[in-house]
Amino acid sequence: MNAPAQEMTSRRRPPALDVAVVGGGMVGAAAALALARAGFATALLEARAPAAWDAHAEVDLRVVGLAPSSVMLLDELGVWTSIRAARASPYTHMHVWDAESGAAIDFDAPSEGRDRLGYIVENSLVQWTLWQALDAAQGSASAAGAGRAGASVRRLCPAEVRGFEAREDRIQLELADGETLSASLLVAADGAGSPLRALAGIGTRGRDYAQRAVVAHVATERPHQDTAWQRFLPGGPLALLPLADGRSSIVWSLPEAEARRVLALDDQAFLDELGVASDFRLGRIVATTPRAAFPLRLQLAERYQADRFVLLGDAAHAVHPLAGQGVNLGLRDVAELRDTLLDARATGRDIGATHVLRRYARRRRSADTLDALGFDALARIYAWQSPALVAARGIGVRVLDRLAPLKRRLSEHAAGF
């Protein structure tokens, strides 16, 4: 065969994959599994495998509040039963109150016709369970859909993408080991500092909160009552989230200098200060794990797509933890991308085409931006210190707590419905 004929044959050969997902955290692993379950030939590329989750080990300091929409997706992927059985704590109530005005708002699952508002689960448990499901799915044909014959998931780890090039019918990935990989679509789920986002030339906007979230697990004098507690303090919100073992996980947002001071306290001094900060709502704080902290910032990608390329999860948006919605937004990205690609395949369209990806990008960027700016507005409002503004804030919260239909709408939005 002469060279032109070889070139034509090469061009006609389909890409090796439908989708390459880069980043094996909770959102990336869920995306790879969801797309494989939907019948797309998928690969997950990750530099480092997660440590095995151990039921006998201390509870991971990083926990997530999974909304009902996230639980529904994980159930569809066949992993929720294992997560729930391992170590997940349902919460049925949420009590939020303002340290300055004393105004409070309550959310209650039974009054909204639901069994629970969500679950508090360790990040590492969710990620590890997803990786176990990917293990089971590797090399097996997907039973779903009418996609490419033998659609499955491959897990490449360790693997690092050094560069990529979008072509007419595929995107070509160059890996650090010199190998190349082709796919119809590249999905970047590689975190808030996303190297792939930078390679795609996509900028970000946002602001640094000049705060750190101090995290620990604490034992309290009184039980947590399956309730998520959140108190807004002048320096930032303090959340006490119920754990399955009866303790509470704290997420305490503090200015940088104050966070460093709190981290340096001995345990007893920390317990005393935390008791005051929590208004002793659960009585005295009687024990704590070692503490850790992570920086807080608002970051939104200027766009969610490029040629045969989309962003997911923290690579697209990083938000303040006060509403506990970061991972939930990422899992909603996953569901939207899966549904978009399924619709494209059902109508015979190229899943990596610009007009297909534009639908996903438009819908999720709009929703994520509204949520992120809403959380940012809450952070700003609760930072008000002047007596007149504090009084106005208190009036607004008390009115909202009495407006059942509006409060229900807010709860349904947080649930992902």
Would you say the C-alpha torsion 61, 67, 71, 76 has a positive or negative sign? negative
Q: What's the CA gap between 266 and 260, in Å, rounded?
A: 12
Q: What's the CA gap between 230 and 97, in Å, rounded?
A: 7
pLDDT surpassing 90 at residue 301: yes
Assess contact for 34 and 145: CB atoms under 8 A: no
Which residues, at least 6 apart from 119, have a Cβ–Cβ distance to it below 8 Å?
A: 65, 66, 71, 84, 88, 89, 90, 91
* pLDDT the model gives residue 390: 75
143-161 pLDDT, tens per residue?
A: 433 344 445 799 999 999 9
* pLDDT the model gives residue 42: 96
- The least confident of 6-10, 27-31, 236-240 is 6-10
Q: What's the CA gap between 226 and 106, in Å, rounded?
A: 13
Query: Residue 8 has which token pair?
Result: 């034509």
Strand boundaries in 221-247, DSSP class E: 227-233, 236-242
Q: What's the CA gap between 166 and 62, in Å, rounded?
A: 36
Which residues, at least 6 apart from 253, have a Cβ–Cβ distance to it below 8 Å?
A: 209, 211, 212, 213, 214, 235, 236, 237, 238, 296, 320, 321, 322
Q: What's the CA gap between 287 and 155, in Å, rounded?
A: 41
Instruction: Tally the C-alpha atoms within 13 A of residue 212's C-alpha that lie toward its C-beta.
Output: 14
Q: At what angle do helices 68-76 and 326-346 cross, to 10 degrees?
A: 50
- The least confident of 16-25, 138-147, 298-307, 313-322 is 138-147
Q: What's the CA gap between 130 and 208, in Å, rounded?
A: 31
Tell me, letter by letter, the H, E, C secondary structure of 83-141: HHHHHEEEECEEEEEECCCCCEEEEECHHHCCCCCEEEEEHHHHHHHHHHHHHHHECCC
- CB-based contacts of 13-17 (< 8 A; 24+ apart in sequence): 14/148, 14/169, 15/169, 15/170, 15/171, 15/182, 15/183, 15/184, 16/41, 16/181, 16/182, 16/183, 17/41, 17/42, 17/43, 17/154, 17/181, 17/182, 17/183, 17/184
Q: Locate the domains of the chain by residue range.
A: 12-415
Q: What's the length of the chain?
A: 417
Continuous segment of H or E residues that includes residue 163: strand 161-166
- The least confident of 6-15, 161-170, 257-266, 351-360 is 6-15
* pLDDT the model gives residue 217: 98
Residue 281 has what DSSP assignment?
Answer: B
Residue 65 DSSP SS3: strand
Q: Nearest-CA neighbor of 257 among 225, 228, 290, 293?
A: 293
User: Residues 308-312: what's their mean pLDDT?
Assistant: 97
Average pLDDT, the chain: 89
Which overall architecture, per CATH, does domain 12-415 show? 3-Layer(bba) Sandwich (3.50)
Residue 283 has what DSSP assignment?
Answer: B
What string of DSSP letters covers 377-404? HHHHHTT--SHHHHHHHHHHHHHHHH-H
45-98 pLDDT, tens per residue?
A: 999 999 999 999 999 999 999 999 999 999 999 999 999 999 999 999 999 999
110-128 pLDDT, tens per residue?
A: 888 889 999 999 999 999 9
Q: What's the CA gap between 226 and 191, in Å, rounded?
A: 31
Q: What's the CA gap between 67 and 117, in Å, rounded?
A: 7
Residue 226 has what DSSP assignment?
Answer: T
User: Residues 91-108: what's their mean pLDDT?
Assistant: 91
Q: What's the CA gap between 264 and 291, in Å, rounded?
A: 9
